[in-house]
Chains A and B, each alone.
Chain A
Amino acid sequence: MTGFPDDSRRAGDALVLYAENGVFLEDIDGELHLMDGRTD
């Protein structure tokens, strides 16, 4: 599993569950969110 092992906690209640190639799944207040962190 890849992602942010040392920084899985983000601002607020968001938690990165899994990340790959700049795209990640976040848990925000118990809801799943598909996020795109790429800068292209």
Chain B
Amino acid sequence: MISSEPRGPSTYLTEDGKLCAVVRNAFDAGEIRRTAVGGTAVSASGSEYDAGMMLRMLVSAVRCGPETDISYLEGRMIAEILRESGALSPESAVPAEDTGFRRIPLSILRGSGERAVFTEDGRIYLKITGNVPERKRRSPDLNRCGRRS
């Protein structure tokens, strides 16, 4: 049997009327605004976003654009969080819930030179599996979307 469900909203980031990034199955502007003033929103994967998580997602969207899906961005964000936490080996692995994400989309990191790996006791770390292409190691660049002049 094949079934389906409605797609989530797409989040568009534009600059002077030009589209610079779109995130599929993400959040509508009302949800983003709600988190910015203290509320939360739940992504398609079931992860709860507060303002910090939402801002991180939007920055990732600009960096990874022009068109991504929320699942891909969540994989990238988890990798960033693990890297920032220093969770780069089984010994330094952190509890999965510390990433803030309810579901860890392991396959999303395929091709990035990185892989999220679970330890036997359920913790998680980032394993560097190969060379990361230069274009994927750039720091966030918001020049295309909203750099304050």
Contacts and interface: CB of A to CB of B under 8 A. Distances in A.
A35 B29 contact: no
A28 to B, nearest CB: 11
Nearest to A25: B36
B142 A27 contact: no
Interface of B: 13, 29, 32-33, 35-38, 51-52, 54-55, 58-59, 62, 140, 142, 145-148
B146 A33 contact: yes
A17 B36 contact: yes
A37 B55 CA distance: 13
Interface residues of A, number: 14
A27 B55 contact: no
Interface string A1-39: 100000000000000011010011101000011111100
B51 A34 contact: no
Which secondary structure dominates where chain B touches chain A?
Answer: helix
A27 B32 CA distance: 11
Nearest to B59: A23
B18 to A, nearest CB: 14
B55 to A, nearest CB: 5
B29 A25 contact: no
A25 to B, nearest CB: 5
Given A17-B36, A34-B142, 14 more contacts: A17-B33, A18-B36, A18-B51, A20-B51, A23-B142, A32-B36, A34-B13, A34-B55, A34-B58, A34-B62, A34-B146, A35-B146, A36-B146, A36-B147
